[in-house]
């Protein structure tokens, strides 16, 4: 019989489901060395956020087939290592959406009406009504950063309370924002106009420290901030300083850069700062939802069935999957590439299956392209199962076409993204050994393998331009691994594609765009 280790507290409903097909051992709070020692005998591991499923744990789990996270964020699991080891990682993308949104609203109202401190004062046999004169949220501006599942539900509740909604989410369409009654604005406007700001973004390099001293300085002295998303998105020291100085009115936090929260300047700031110990998902209902959702997937995978919400492996029919895997990888890479080239908000993706590929099933390739396209915005939250829904919710229209008459290699895939910053397209093929080649960018022929760090320029084909870019990168100590130029006519428009050994340091891109003849430049990280 298969064996499942449950190493964090989860609802009994999940244990009951797992017990249908496996021996379930419930061992919460295992020290890392004990976990590493016992994991070799388990086929599946189920965790919440407490267990750190590190590379060491995964490498030791030689029998592991699946790791389940009873919640959304998989930041406590080393997903790349699990993927490399062929272990499915599943989560519950929606099981705690309502719980987290309701906790956000509870935090906002508690902060406005100083409920925790008022309660404490009455518990201490005081009756001080003057100290606790609060603020109403009615007709106030709520700035929502991140209009995904939780942000959207917060918007719906806040709207019903008569709040005026502003939102910042570069990956959401104007139509979707309109439907939610939100005015899409840029971050600076959201900071300066909001009476309340609530964060609902994943933690990524772009969102880390999003609310720093500069951002706080743009807010009104009456602004109150709520963070029930991820720690590290707000700079905690800068926040404590702003509340202490009265440059903002207060903050309510559920998540912290380091959890559990250690010594912190956020403590002892009176009724203007409310701190909860990562309780966003802690409702009976959400815990049943996430435990059931993830336990069912573990059960299915142990029975040889696909998982419906895998963050690293497509939930398609396994035999179709095996056959199409290299093409899915091609589609995902091209989707990621065109998404980054297009930047900004995308409202349409055209997926063209060309040559021999035109006889393939298009749907998995469309899904894989969307997964790649959305991966910058949603990271591990987008998977083969939810990519289409996520795209639809973001107002991205998908057009599929097939053209068997194109004869390049053994079939090619072409993606074109239209968005707020114009249209961009890429085409790619698989070589004999399933290696990916990008064969055109914005209609210009090239022949480059995708690499981790890439630089693309659109420029005028003229003498000296390549040398200038090379010297400029050299002066910033950036090493070029390969370089290609594609043009349609001599001395006309051209593209340059460079594979770099290192990420481009801050500021270099704007230097590149200043070079004579360069029309545009883009960096891409794959
Ligand atoms: N406190 C808790 O217990 C708790 C519970 C559940 C989820 N969460 C966290 O809440 C957050 C939101 O979860 P969700 O389910 O709504 O996720 P989601 O993926 O549905 O939504 C995230 C949204 O953020 C947007 N986004 C990405 N990068 C952005 C950027 N740089 N600027 C602005 N917007 C950006 C995306 O477009 C997306 O719409 C996540 O960090 C999740 O881990 C916390
Ligand atoms: O397990 C928890 O309670 C944390 C939940 C939440 O942060 C999530 O990402 O789902």
**Tens digits of per-residue pLDDT, 22-43?**
999 999 999 999 999 999 999 9
Ranges for all domains in the chain classified under CATH 3.40.50.720? 2-93+286-302, 97-275
Q: Which residue's alpha carbon is at the smallest distance from atom 7 of ligand 2? A: 73
Catalytic hit among 278, 352, 381, 394: 278
The answer to whether residue 285 is catalytic is no
Residue 480 pairs in a beta bridge with 500
pLDDT of residue 317 exceeding 90, the answer is no
Q: Which residue's alpha carbon is at the smallest distance from atom 3 of ligand 2? A: 281
**Least distant ligand from the CA of 278:** 1
Upper half-sphere CA count for residue 298 (Cβ side, 13 Å):
36
pLDDT value at position 306?
73
**Least distant ligand from the CA of 280:** 1
> For residues 294 and 297, what is the distance between their CA atoms, to the nearest angstrom?
5
Q: Does domain 97-275 have CATH number 3.90.1300.10?
A: no
The answer to whether residue 230 is catalytic is yes
DSSP letter for each residue of 211-257? B-HHHHHTS-TT-EEEE-S-TTSB-HHHHHHHHHHTSS-EEEES--S
| 312 vs 228, more confident | 228
Contact 42, 30 (CB under 8 A): no
306 lines ligand 1 (CB under 6 A): no
Average pLDDT on 124-132 reads 97
Of all atoms in ligand 1, which is nearest to the CA of residue 93?
Answer: 15
232 lines ligand 1 (CB under 6 A): no
Characterize the bridge pairing of strands 412-419 and 397-403: unpaired
The answer to whether residue 259 is catalytic is yes
pLDDT value at position 2?
97
**Type and span of the H or E element at 388:** helix 387-393
Catalytic hit among 48, 69, 200, 230: 230
| CATH fit for domain 314-450, picks 1.10.8.60, 1.10.3470.10, 3.30.1330.90, 3.40.50.10090 | 3.30.1330.90
Distance (Å) of CA 377 to CA 74, 75, 380: 15, 15, 9
pLDDT value at position 71?
95
pLDDT band with cut points at 50, 70 and 90 for residue 6:
very high
Q: How far is the CA of 392 from the centre of ligand 2 (A)?
A: 25
- pLDDT by residue (tens digit) across 439-483? 999 999 999 999 999 999 999 999 999 999 999 999 999 999 989
pLDDT of residue 264 exceeding 90, the answer is yes
Of all atoms in ligand 2, which is nearest to the CA of residue 255?
Answer: 7
Percent of the chain's residues with pLDDT above 70: 97
- pLDDT by residue (tens digit) across 39-81? 999 999 999 999 999 999 999 999 999 999 999 999 899 988 8
Q: Of the ranges 249-253, 341-345, 429-433, 502-506, which is most confident? A: 249-253
228 lines ligand 1 (CB under 6 A): yes
Of all atoms in ligand 1, which is nearest to the CA of residue 71?
Answer: 6
Show the tokens assigned to 54.
């590190």
Of all atoms in ligand 2, which is nearest to the CA of residue 95?
Answer: 10
**Type and span of the H or E element at 296:** helix 284-302
> For residues 379 and 148, what is the distance between their CA atoms, to the nearest angstrom?
13
Q: What's the mean per-residue pLDDT of the chain?
A: 93
Contact 69, 90 (CB under 8 A): yes
pLDDT band with cut points at 50, 70 and 90 for residue 242:
very high
| 360 vs 318, more confident | 360
User: Candidates 72, 189, 396: which one to mutate for ligand 1, based on the most atoms within 8 Å of Cβ?
Assistant: 72
Choose among 398, 368, 366, 361: nearest CA to 383: 368
pLDDT of residue 324 exceeding 90, the answer is no
**Residue with the two structure tokens 């080649």:** 437
Q: What is the ipTM of this complex?
A: 0.99
CATH superfamily of 452-526: ACT domain (3.30.70.260)
289 lines ligand 1 (CB under 6 A): no
Choose among 456, 464, 466: nearest CA to 497: 456
pLDDT of residue 313 exceeding 70, the answer is no
Upper half-sphere CA count for residue 140 (Cβ side, 13 Å):
20
Q: Structure pTM?
A: 0.77
- pLDDT by residue (tens digit) across 426-442? 999 999 889 999 999 99
Classify residue 125 as exposed, middle or buried by CB count within 10 Å of its CB (0-12, 13-18, 19+).
exposed
Choose among 255, 269, 321, 287: nearest CA to 98: 287
173 lines ligand 1 (CB under 6 A): no
pLDDT of residue 314 exceeding 60, the answer is no
pLDDT of residue 133 exceeding 90, the answer is yes
Of all atoms in ligand 2, which is nearest to the CA of residue 49?
Answer: 1
207 lines ligand 1 (CB under 6 A): yes
User: Candidates 89, 96, 293: which one to mutate for ligand 2, based on the most atoms within 8 Å of Cβ?
Assistant: 96
Q: How far is the CA of 54 from the centre of ligand 2 (A)?
A: 17
pLDDT of residue 380 exceeding 80, the answer is no
Distance (Å) of CA 124 to CA 115, 118, 128, 268, 396: 14, 10, 11, 17, 55
Of all atoms in ligand 1, which is nearest to the CA of residue 374?
Answer: 37
49 lines ligand 2 (CB under 6 A): yes
| Spatial CB neighbours of 371, under 8 Å, sequence gap ≥ 6 | 332, 335, 382, 383, 384, 387
- Other C-beta atoms within 10 Å of 504: how many? 21
pLDDT value at position 153?
98
- pLDDT by residue (tens digit) across 328-375? 999 999 999 999 999 889 999 999 999 999 988 888 899 899 999 999
Ranges for all domains in the chain classified under CATH 3.30.1330.90? 314-450
69 lines ligand 1 (CB under 6 A): no
pLDDT value at position 318?
53
pLDDT of residue 495 exceeding 80, the answer is yes
499 lines ligand 2 (CB under 6 A): no
- The fold of 2-93+286-302 is Rossmann fold (3.40.50)
Classify residue 124 as exposed, middle or buried by CB count within 10 Å of its CB (0-12, 13-18, 19+).
exposed
């Amino acid at each position: 019989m298969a064996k499942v280790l449950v190493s964090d507290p989860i609802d009994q409903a999940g244990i009951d489901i797992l017990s249908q097909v496996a021996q379930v051992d419930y061992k919460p709070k295992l020290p890392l060395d004990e976990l590493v020692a016992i994991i070799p005998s388990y086929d599946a591991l189920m965790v919440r956020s407490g267990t750190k499923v590190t590379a060491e744990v995964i490498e030791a789990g030689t029998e592991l087939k699946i790791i389940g996270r009873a919640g959304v964020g998989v930041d406590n699991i080393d997903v790349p290592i699990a993927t490399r080891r062929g272990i499915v990682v599943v989560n519950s993308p929606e099981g705690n959406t309502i719980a987290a949104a309701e906790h956000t609203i509870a935090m906002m109202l508690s902060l406005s009406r100083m409920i925790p401190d008022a309660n404490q004062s009455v518990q201490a046999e005081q009756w001080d009504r003057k100290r606790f004169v609060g603020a109403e949220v009615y007709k106030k501006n709520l700035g929502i950063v991140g209009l995904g599942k939780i942000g959207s539900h917060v918007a719906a509740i806040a709207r019903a309370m008569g709040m005026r909604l502003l939102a910042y989410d570069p990956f959401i369409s104007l139509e979707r924002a309109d439907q939610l009654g939100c005015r899409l604005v840029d971050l600076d406007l959201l900071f300066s106009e909001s009476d309340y700001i609530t964060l609902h973004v994943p933690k990524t390099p772009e969102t880390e420290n999003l609310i720093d001293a500069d951002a706080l300085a743009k807010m009104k002295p009456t602004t109150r901030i709520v963070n029930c998303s991820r720690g590290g998105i707000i700079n905690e020291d800068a926040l404590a300083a702003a509340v202490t100085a009265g440059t903002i009115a207060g903050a309510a936090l559920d998540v912290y850069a380091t959890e559990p929260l250690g010594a912190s300047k956020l403590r002892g700031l009176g009724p203007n700062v409310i701190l909860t110990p990562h309780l966003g998902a802690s409702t009976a209902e959400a815990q049943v939802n996430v435990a059931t959702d993830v336990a069912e997937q573990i059960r299915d995978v142990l029975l040889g069935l696909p998982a419906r919400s895998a963050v690293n492996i497509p939930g398609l029919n396994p035999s179709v999957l095996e056959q199409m895997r290299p093409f899915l990888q091609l589609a995902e890479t091209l989707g990621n590439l065109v998404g980054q080239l297009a930047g900004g908000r995308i409202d349409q993706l055209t997926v063209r299956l060309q040559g021999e590929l035109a006889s393939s099933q298009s749907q998995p390739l469309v899904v894989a392209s969307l997964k790649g396209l959305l991966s910058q915005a949603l990271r591990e939250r987008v998977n083969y199962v939810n990519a289409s829904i996520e795209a639809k919710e973001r107002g991205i229209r998908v057009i599929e076409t097939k053209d068997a008459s194109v004869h390049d290699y053994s079939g090619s895939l072409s993606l074109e993204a239209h968005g707020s910053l114009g249209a961009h397209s890429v085409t790619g093929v698989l070589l004999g050994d399933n290696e990916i080649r990008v064969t055109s960018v914005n209609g210009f022929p090239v022949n480059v393998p995708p690499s981790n760090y890439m630089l693309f320029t659109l420029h005028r084909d003229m003498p000296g331009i390549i040398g200038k870019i090379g010297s400029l990168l050299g002066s910033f100590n950036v090493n070029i691994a390969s370089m290609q130029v594609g043009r349609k006519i001599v001395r006309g428009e051209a593209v340059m594609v460079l594979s770099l050994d290192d990420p481009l340091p801050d500021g270099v891109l704007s230097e590149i765009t200043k070079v004579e003849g360069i029309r545009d430049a883009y960096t891409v990280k794959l």
